[in-house]
Amino acid sequence: MATASGKSKVRIAIDAMGGDFGPSVVIPGAALALVRRPDTTFIFFGKKGEIEPVLNAHAALKAVSQVVHSDVAIAMTDKPSQALRAGRKVSSMWMALEAVKSGEADAVISAGNTGALMAMSKFCLRTMPGVDRPAIAAMWPTVRGESIVLDVGATIGADAQHLVDLAIMGAAMAQIVFDLPRPSVGLLNVGVEEIKGLEEIKAAGRVLRESDLAGLTYHGFVEGDDIGRGTVDVVVTEGYTGNIALKTAEGTARQVAQYLREAMSSSLMAKIGYVFARGAFNAIRDKMDPRKVNGGVFLGLDGVVIKSHGGTDAEGYAGAIEVGYEMVKHELLGKIHHSLAQAHEERLNTAPEVSLPPAAQ
């Protein structure tokens, strides 16, 4: 990991009502995270009557935690506009974000509704200076380990400049997660040749190649099958395609898992084979286990926001907290800010040569 910041404690704001299970998963998850990251403190936002009984069972956690009461919980099915209307100022989700905005906490973790969390994050925290639109970065398991893929659905459509910003933000996250000074970055495209694809992707590729940013190594275009292959550390695409790629991969993994289940119960021989190979099957399940890489990072906001899967268990929730911890400890926001400033300077210097479409300038 990169150098740690000077802060002595990482203060985590938790939307305790988010997710399918609320405090019954969130609090044991925080207890697990505290064991592995002892320099952490917590503020839990939500219904005291539900939080405190669970927290009482975790003495070490209770000793470093505050509870702030909120009566309003955003439902997993609320539309973002509904959530904002009903939950602004008063919901556990909003209050957790507000704690980061006011400086009482360093990062927010929520397993709540993604659309509502993004809408509230934009509204409460605003985007960083120089960033128009936030993105969601996902950790993607590959045959070589993991890669970061962004944007997986925060904003639809992207001009060349937004794609370059995504590359910069994803690389800053990759520096922390993979402990690499210059992670490799690829632009998702329909072919690896420079002449192929959408104009904005080609323009972003030219900018990334020519500006030679200090925080990343530009690899070039990658195709859909390069994601699972782990060809690059960071795969950049706009949110519509990124969301479809992510869900298509999840669907394919589930499909193969179903084929496996059916095949392994299709005959006596297969059932016997399964008994012998059970350990191996469990190892595969672990590799594909979303809990192992839980924690989508919202990038481009003026604050660290981590989205945990709604259906995760305590182990998965602890993983999301640890992602937030690392982002704070290794100064994600500072890294993004620094890289964006460098890119912006490059852009001013090279503007006459770079042929961006007018809308992207």
Sites of contact with a copy of itself (CB under 8 A): 79, 141-143, 153, 156-157, 188, 190, 193, 197-198, 223-229, 237, 239-241, 243-260, 263-264, 266-267, 269-270, 272-281, 283-284, 287-288
Q: Which is nearer to a copy of itself, 179 or 286 (CB)?
A: 286
Q: Is 50 exposed, middle or buried (0-12, 13-18, 19+ CB in 10 A)?
A: middle
User: How many C-beta atoms surround the C-beta of residue 337 within 10 A?
Assistant: 17
DSSP 8-state assignment for residue 3: P
Q: Which is nearer to a copy of itself, 56 or 258 (CB)?
A: 258
Residue 124 CB, shortest distance to a copy of itself, in Å, is 23
The answer to whether residues 307 and 295 touch, using CB atoms and an 8 Å cutoff, is: yes
Mapping DSSP onto H, E and C, the string for 70-130 reads CCECCCCCCCHHHHHHHHCCCEHHHHHHHHHHCCCCCEEEECCCHHHHHHHHHHHHCECCC
Residue 98 CB, shortest distance to a copy of itself, in Å, is 27
Residue 306 CB, shortest distance to a copy of itself, in Å, is 21
Residue 303 CB, shortest distance to a copy of itself, in Å, is 24
Contacts (Cβ under 8 Å, ≥6 apart) of 106: 7, 10, 11, 12, 100, 304, 328
Q: Which is nearer to a copy of itself, 101 or 229 (CB)?
A: 229
Residue 184 CB, shortest distance to a copy of itself, in Å, is 17
Q: Which is nearer to a copy of itself, 280 or 341 (CB)?
A: 280
Q: Which is nearer to a copy of itself, 202 or 338 (CB)?
A: 202
Q: Which is nearer to a copy of itself, 59 or 269 (CB)?
A: 269
DSSP 8-state assignment for residue 57: T
Residues shown for the chain: 361
CA gap 208, 235 in Å, rounded: 13
- Measured at the CA of 269, the angle between CA 263 and CA 275, to 5 degrees, comes to 80
Residue 276 CB, shortest distance to a copy of itself, in Å, is 3
Residue 235 CB, shortest distance to a copy of itself, in Å, is 10
Q: Identify the H or E element spanning 164.
A: helix 160-178
Alpha carbon separation from 252 to 71, 185, 228, 248, 258 (Å, rounded): 40, 25, 12, 6, 10
Q: Which is nearer to a copy of itself, 229 or 338 (CB)?
A: 229
Residue 162 CB, shortest distance to a copy of itself, in Å, is 15
Residue 139 CB, shortest distance to a copy of itself, in Å, is 15
Q: Which is nearer to a copy of itself, 288 or 333 (CB)?
A: 288
CA gap 87, 157 in Å, rounded: 28
The answer to whether residues 204 and 160 touch, using CB atoms and an 8 Å cutoff, is: yes
Q: Which is nearer to a copy of itself, 136 or 176 (CB)?
A: 136
Report helix, strand or coil for 217.
Answer: strand
Alpha helices in 212-305 (DSSP H): 224-229, 239-264, 268-288
Residue 260 CB, shortest distance to a copy of itself, in Å, is 6
Q: Which is nearer to a copy of itself, 56 or 266 (CB)?
A: 266
User: How many C-beta atoms surround the C-beta of residue 3 within 10 A?
Assistant: 8
CA gap 188, 138 in Å, rounded: 15
